[in-house]
Amino acid sequence: MKILLAIDGSKFSEWAVQAVMAQTKPNHADVRVLHVVEPIPEYADGLAWGYGLQSAGVLEEESEQAQGLVAKAARELRDAGFQVETAVEVGDAKAVIVDAAANWRADLIVLGSHGRKGLERFLMGSVSEAVARHAPCSVQIVRSPPRA
Q: What is the DSSP string of 17-62?
A: HHHHHHHS-GGG-EEEEEEEE-PPEEEETTEEEEE----HHHHHHH
Alpha carbon distance 79, 108 (integer Å): 21
Q: Where are the domains of the chain?
A: 2-142
**Tens-digit pLDDT profile for residues 50-80:** 555 556 667 788 889 999 999 999 999 999 9
- Rg of the chain, C-alpha, whole Å: 16
Residue type at 105 in one-letter notation? R
Q: Which of 31-35, 45-49, 126-130 has the highest mean pLDDT?
A: 31-35
User: pTM of this prediction?
Assistant: 0.84
pLDDT at 35: 97
Per-residue pLDDT reduced to its tens digit, 94-114: 999 999 999 999 999 999 986
The total number of residues shown for the chain amounts to 148
Strands 138-142 and 108-112: parallel
Higher pLDDT, 46 or 121: 46
Helix (H, G, I), strand (E, B) or coil at 138: strand
Q: Residue 93: left if φ>0, alpha if ψ -120 to 50, beta else—which one?
A: alpha
Q: Which CATH superfamily is domain 2-142 in?
A: HUPs (3.40.50.620)
